[in-house]
């Protein structure tokens, strides 16, 4: 008799693995940083050279002669700062390229460098130009820094609210800088004559930058 047919059980059906889950959408990128002109500098913008701070804060309670004298000493300090820089061992003494709203040098080297880099275009960083300072702050060669003192500076009066107001009856005055020189200043005599003496590294005299040189001023008071 024929052998009985062997019955085979059906093999279990192989199921495909489920598809992997869809990848999560990429995270939303952070908003772009605000424009540089809208960012507060990370350093104190009120720190300027001492004599310049005196003029900024108390000029309106001083006489005309005292105001000019304060401005003279202020410009001496800013002029001296402008010739600093280029020394790799003194990275915070970088010179003066960027100024406050009054046209005075920021004394913080870190703030000067921030204005040249991250803060480029910031409204607090009034730029005199790359030729105002030695590298890394600017591009000037040694002895060729083009920092320029203030021009068209007004004499001020004191208001009833103890605020400075321009004295429109007195013409504004200009400043000039003799680099690599030391000058003595005597207050004007009754005739108005100013007697000053300057002693310069170069016996033929120093380069005059500012009003006398006919360059005008990079900063003119508003």
Q: Over the stretch 53-87, which tens digit does the pLDDT of each residue have?
A: 999 999 999 999 999 999 999 998 998 898 888 77
Q: pTM of whole model > 0.85?
A: no
Burial class (CB in 10 A: 0-12, 13-18, 19+), 28: exposed
Higher-confidence residue: 100 or 36? 100
**187 near 65, Cβ under 8 Å?**
yes
Q: How confident is the model at residue 166 (pLDDT cuts 50, 70, 90)?
A: very high
**157 near 165, Cβ under 8 Å?**
yes
E-assigned strand segments in the chain: 98-99, 126-127, 156-158, 164-166, 176-178, 181-185, 196-200, 208-210
**138 near 109, Cβ under 8 Å?**
no
Q: Evaluate if residue 222 carries a pLDDT over 70.
A: no
**124 near 192, Cβ under 8 Å?**
no
C-alpha 150/C-alpha 219 separation (Å) is: 6
Joined together, the tokens standing for residue 26 give 């990429």
C-alpha 104/C-alpha 74 separation (Å) is: 8
C-alpha 174/C-alpha 157 separation (Å) is: 18
Tens of pLDDT, residue by residue over 114-140, are: 999 999 999 999 999 999 998 989 999
174's enclosing H/E stretch is none
């Amino acid at each position: 008799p024929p052998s009985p047919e062997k019955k085979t059980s059906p093999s279990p059906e192989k199921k495909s693995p489920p598809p992997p889950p869809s990848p999560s959408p990429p995270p939303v990128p952070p908003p772009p940083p605000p424009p540089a002109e809208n960012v507060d500098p990370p350093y104190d913008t009120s720190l300027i050279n001492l004599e310049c701070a005196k003029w900024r804060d108390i000029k309106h309670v001083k006489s005309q002669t005292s105001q000019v004298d304060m401005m003279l000493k202020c410009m001496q300090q800013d002029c001296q700062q402008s010739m600093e820089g280029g020394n790799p061992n003194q990275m915070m003494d970088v010179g003066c390229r960027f100024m406050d709203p009054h046209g005075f040098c920021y004394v913080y080297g870190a703030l000067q460098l921030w204005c040249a880099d991250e803060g480029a275009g910031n409204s607090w960083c009034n730029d005199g130009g790359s030729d105002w300072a030695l590298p890394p702050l600017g591009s000037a060669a040694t002895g060729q820094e083009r920092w320029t003192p203030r021009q068209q500076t007004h004499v001020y009066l004191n208001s009833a609210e103890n605020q400075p107001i321009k004295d429109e009856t007195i013409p504004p005055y200009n400043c000039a800088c003799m680099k690599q020189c030391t000058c003595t200043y005597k207050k004007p005599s009754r005739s108005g004559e100013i007697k000053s003496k300057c002693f310069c590294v170069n016996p033929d005299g120093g380069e005059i930058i500012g009003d006398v040189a006919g360059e005008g001023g990079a900063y003119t008071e508003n």
